[in-house]
Amino acid sequence: MTQSRKPSVAVLGAGSWGTALAALIARHGHSTVLWGRDAATISAIEAEGENPRYLPGIPLPGNLRATTALPEAMANADLVLVVVPSHAFAETLRALAPWREPGAGVAWATKGFEPGSGRFLHEVAGEVLGDDVPLAVVTGPSFAKEVAEGLPTALTVHSEDAVFCQQVADALHGPAFRAYTGDDMCGAELGGAMKNVLAVATGVADGMGLGLNARAGLITRGLNEMLRLNIGIGGRPETLMGLAGLGDLVLTCTGDLSRNRRLGLALGRGASIAEAVREIGQVVESIQTADEVMRQADRHGVELPISSHVRDVLHGRITPAEGLQRLMARERKPEYPSGLFGGH
């Protein structure tokens, strides 16, 4: 790649978020190819310039190409951006590995943990791709529909490779999109995953009609749980006070475009899990993520009352009303444990 040419980008995953990011990068003048498995969706993007299944009515840039052929998407790509659900993450990395151009880094905007093992996605990526491949995570408060429509958005890119981190941020950064950078991949990934679980809690409270005070309390105490688990796994607290934590948490807990919030709303109004998921019609990450968050918490000896009750509600062990009753009955304690922010 010459200095004057913008990096070519392969975006893998043609759901709402993958399509929105591919459109954003294409609008910024990068040669961009979007890969997806669903032939009908890819054909519509190519023929009509629209993703009718995930982003209906939103025109996509004319220079965005789409394909179901992974080798075609990966050909000459200087940068690969993976945007698939967490359950398909490892499989997608294994599929792209043979086609990755030498020197091409791999970033992802996937949120969650590896199903079953509970591993962080950067651990999975390092194992599948090897130590010499630059890696980065893209995360923060961002509804796909708003990004696709060109509304102002701010995200953060975290990587241990400063040069690749900046390359990813540069591809995303534009007139209506700010991309910040950092190097705490653990903290960034934890925030992106855990906020989905906490969004269910605020959705349940709103569905039960518990009021705005309850919502604010749940968001704030949810942030406290994120901070404490982040310290336990070796992340930095400031990461979760920024876009990767607080920003994403507030958006997902208050915005009705959030699938996880809508799941909670339906449960709070008395729907069953099956009914709620069917109504949403897209992958809802929080059901599996709640298990993985609690697996991390148990491993590191961190108590997470809100997250654990969300897990129990999602598995049908308790009703939302019982979960609320248990939270309210907990013993009184200091708001913050000593040493959380490095002080006393």
* Residue 12: strand, helix, or coil: strand
DSSP string, 69-133: -HHHHHTT-SEEEE-S-GGGHHHHHHHHGGGPPTT-EEEE---SB-TTT--BHHHHHHHHH-TTS
Q: Please identify which of the residues 6, 145, 195, 333 carries the catalytic annotation.
A: 195
CB atoms within 10 A of CB 63: 12
Position 145, amino acid? K
DSSP state at residue 135: E
* Residue 146: strand, helix, or coil: helix
φ, ψ of residue 83 in degrees (nearest 5) = -135, 65
In the numeric block, which tokens belong to residue 134? 């630059």
In the numeric block, which tokens belong to residue 333? 């304690």
Tell the residue number behind the tokens 């958005």, with chain if given.
153
Tell the residue number behind the tokens 């509600």, with chain if given.
313
Contact partners, residue 298, CB within 8 Å, separation at least 6: none
Distance CA 136, CA 199 (A): 25
195 carries an active-site annotation: yes
Of 224, 155, 127, whose CA–CA distance to 17 is shortest? Answer: 155
Q: Which residues are catalytic?
A: 195
